[in-house]
Amino acid sequence: MTDLAVRPAAARGTTATSRPRRIDRSAYLFIAPVGIGLGVLYIIPAVTTFVLSFTEWGPFGGNTFNGVSNYVGIFQLETFWTAMGNTLLYALIGLLTLPIAILCAVLLNRKGLRGVAIYRALYFIPFVTLPVASGMVWKWLYNGDFGLINQFLGIFGIPGTYWVSNPATALVAIGIVQVWSQVGYYLIIFIAGVKDIPAEYNEAAELDGATGFRRFWHVTLPLLSPSIFFCSIVNVIATLQIFDLIYVMSQSGVSANPAFNATQSILSLFYQKAFAEGDKGSATALAFLLMLVIGALTYVQFRLQRRWVNYV
Amino acid sequence: MTHVPLHHPTESPPESPPASPPLSRRTVLRALAALPLPMAASAACSSAGPAFNAGGGRARIGYAVWDKDQVPAMQQVVDEFRKDHPDIEITIQLTPFVTYWTRLRTSITGGGAADVFWMNAPNIQKFAKYGTLLPLGARLRTAGETLADHPQNLVRLYQFDGEQYGIPKDFDTISLYYNRELFDKAGIGYPDETWTWQHVVDAAGALRDPAQSVFGYAAPLDRQRALYPAIFQNDGWVLRDSRSGFADEATIGGLRYLTEMIDKGFSPNAMAIADTNERSLMQSGKVAMMTGLPNDANALYKDEKARARTGIAVLPRGRRRATVIHGLANVVNARTPHPDACFEFVRFMANRVTGEIQGRSGTILPSFAGTQQAYLDSRPEFRLQSFIDQVPDATAYPASVNTESWESMQLQVLGLSWVGQGSRPIADSARLLANDMNVVLAKESA
Question: What is the DSSP pairing of strand A63-65 with strand B323-325?
Answer: unpaired
- At B106 the pLDDT is 84
- Answer whether A256 sits within 8 Å of B126, measured CB to CB: no
Distance CA B393, CA B324 (A): 9
Residues in A closer than 8 angstroms to B405, CB to CB, are 277-279
pLDDT of residue A112: 82
Q: What stretch of H or E contains B99?
A: helix B97-110
Q: Is the CB of A165 less than 8 angstroms away from the CB of B126?
A: no
How far off is chain A from B396, nearest CA to CA, in Å? 21
Q: Mean per-residue pLDDT for A273-283?
A: 85
pLDDT of residue A20: 53
Distance from CA of B109 to the nearest CA of A (A): 5
From the CA of A65, how many Å to the nearest CA of chain B? Answer: 16
- Beta-carbon separation of B130 and A162 below 8 A: no
Cα distance between residue A49 and residue A55, in whole Å: 10
Interchain contact, B272 vs A162, CB within 8 Å = yes
CA of A169: which chain B residue's CA is closest? B271
Half-sphere exposure of residue B46, counting CA atoms within 13 Å on the CB side? 12
Q: How far is CA A299 from the centre of its chain?
A: 14
A61/B109 touch (CB, cutoff 8 Å), yes or no: yes
Q: Is the Cβ of B274 closer than 8 Å to some Cβ of chain A? A: yes
- Alpha carbon A183 to its chain centroid, in Å, reads 12
Beta strands (DSSP E) in A30-187 are: 55-57, 63-65
Q: What's the confidence (pLDDT) of residue B35? A: 39
Cβ atoms B277, B174 nearer than 8 A: no
* Chain centroid, CA B421 distance in Å: 34
Q: Say how far apart CA A260 and CA B416 lie, in whole Å.
A: 10
- For B219, the closest chain A residue by CA position comes to A256
Task: Look at B271 and A144 and tell me if their CB atoms are within 8 Å.
Answer: yes
The interface residues of chain B toward chain A in range 221-240, judged by CB-CB distance below 8 A, are 221-222
CA distance B337 to chain A (A): 19
Domain ranges of chain A: 2-52, 70-308
Nearest CA to A143 out of A160, A128, A130 is that of A160
Q: Is residue B390 within 8 Å of residue B313, measured between CB atoms?
A: no
Do B245 and B236 contact (CB within 8 A), yes or no?
Answer: yes
User: Rounded to an integer, what is the distance from CA B275 to the centroid of its chain?
Assistant: 25
Residues whose CB falls within 8 Å of the CB of residue B410, separated by 6 or more in sequence, listed in order: B223, B227, B433, B437
- Angle formed by the axes of helices B403-414 and B121-129, nearest 10°: 140
The whole-number pLDDT of residue A212 equals 81
Q: Report strand pairing: B88-94 vs B59-65.
A: parallel
What pairs with residue A121 in β-bridges?
none
8-state DSSP, B415: G
Q: CA of A276: how far to CAs of A131, A251, A273, A291, B239, in Å?
A: 21, 12, 6, 22, 20
pLDDT of residue B317: 96
B339-349 helix and B71-84 helix, angle to the nearest 10 degrees: 120
Contacts of A150 in chain B (CB under 8 A): none
Show residues of chain B in contact with A165, CB under 8 Å: 270-272, 274-275
Long-range pairs, A64-67, Cβ under 8 A, ≥24: A66/A281
Q: Report the amino acid identity of residue B437.
A: M
Q: Which of B109, B222, B416 sits opposite A258 (nearest CB)?
A: B416
Give CA–CA dist B114/B345, Å, rounded: 13
d(CA B150, CA B42): 33
Q: Does B400 touch chain A (CB under 8 A)?
A: no
Interface test with A, best of B221, B262, B269, B275 (most A CBs within 10 A): B275
The reply to whether residue A165 touches residue B271, judged by beta carbons under 8 angstroms, is yes
Q: Rounded to an integer, what distance in angstroms lies between the CA atom of residue B224 and that of residue B232?
A: 11
Torsion of CA A201, A204, A206, A210, to 10 degrees: -80
Q: How confident is the model at residue A2 (pLDDT cuts 50, 70, 90)?
A: very low
The Cα–Cα gap between A122 and A143 comes to: 25
Distance in angstroms (rounded) separating the CA atoms of residues A285 and A273: 10
Query: Contact B408/A145, CB-based, under 8 Å?
Result: no
Which residues, in sequence order, are bridge partners of residue B262? none
Please indicate if any CB of chain A lies within 8 Å of the CB of B105: yes
φ, ψ of residue A34 in degrees (nearest 5) = -70, -45
Spatial distance between the Cα atoms of B31 and A171, rounded to a whole number of angstroms: 59
Closest CA to A232 of A308, A163, A142, A135: A308
Radius of gyration of chain B (CA): 25
ipTM of the complex: 0.76
Write out the H or E segment, with its range, that includes residue A76.
helix A69-76
Q: Kindly report the average pLDDT of chain A as a whole number.
A: 87
pLDDT of residue A234: 95
Contacts of A152 (CB under 8 A, 6+ apart): none
Q: In 3D, which of B382, B391, B383 has the Cα closest to residue B322? A: B391
CB of B112 within 8 Å of a chain A CB? The answer is no
Q: Which of A60, A144, A255 sits opposite B408 (nearest CB)?
A: A255
Give SS3 for A5: helix
pLDDT value of residue B44: 36
3-state secondary structure of B390: coil
Closest residue of chain A to B224, computed from CA coordinates:
A254
Residues of chain B neighbouring A146 (CB-CB closer than 8 A): 276
Query: Measured on CA atoms in the order B129, B132, B138, B143, is the torsion positive or negative?
Result: negative
Interatomic CA distance for residues B375 and B385, integer angstroms: 9
* pLDDT tens per residue across span A227-257: 999 999 999 999 999 999 999 998 876 557 8
A204: left (phi over 0), alpha (psi -120 to 50) or beta: alpha
pLDDT of residue A302: 94
CATH homologous superfamily, domain A70-308? MetI-like (1.10.3720.10)
Binding-site residues on chain A for chain B (CB distance < 8 A): 58-61, 79, 142-147, 161-162, 164-167, 250, 253-261, 272, 275-279
**Which of B132, B270, B404 lies closest to A256 in CB terms?**
B270
pTM, full prediction: 0.80
A145: chain B residues, CB-CB within 8 Å: 213, 272, 275-276
Check CB contact under 8 Å for A166 and B419: yes
Cβ within 8 Å of A, B 142-201: none
pLDDT tens digit at each of 446 positions of chain B: 334 333 333 333 333 333 334 445 554 444 444 433 333 333 333 333 344 444 445 899 999 999 998 999 999 999 999 999 999 999 999 999 878 988 898 899 888 899 999 999 999 999 999 999 999 999 999 999 999 999 999 999 999 999 999 999 999 999 999 999 999 999 999 999 999 999 999 999 999 999 999 999 999 999 999 999 999 999 999 999 999 999 999 999 999 999 999 999 999 999 999 998 899 999 999 999 999 999 899 889 999 999 999 999 999 999 999 999 999 999 999 999 999 999 999 999 999 999 999 988 888 899 999 898 888 988 889 999 999 999 999 999 999 998 988 988 888 889 889 998 888 999 999 999 999 899 889 988 77
Other CB atoms closer than 10 Å to residue B268's CB: what's the count? 28
Cα A251 to chain centroid distance, Å, stands at 21
Q: Strand, helix or coil at A161?
A: coil
How close A285 gets to chain B, by Cα (Å)?
17
Distance between CA B347 and CA B231 in Å, rounded?
Answer: 35
CATH superfamily of B175-320+402-445: Periplasmic binding protein-like II (3.40.190.10)
DSSP for A256-312, please give it: --TTTTTT--HHHHHHIIIIIS--HHHHHHHHHHHHHHHHHHHHHHHHHHHHH----
pLDDT reported for residue A120:
87
- The Cα of B223 is separated from the nearest Cα of chain A by a number of Å equal to 9
Query: What topology does CATH give the domain B51-171+327-375?
Result: D-Maltodextrin-Binding Protein; domain 2 (3.40.190)
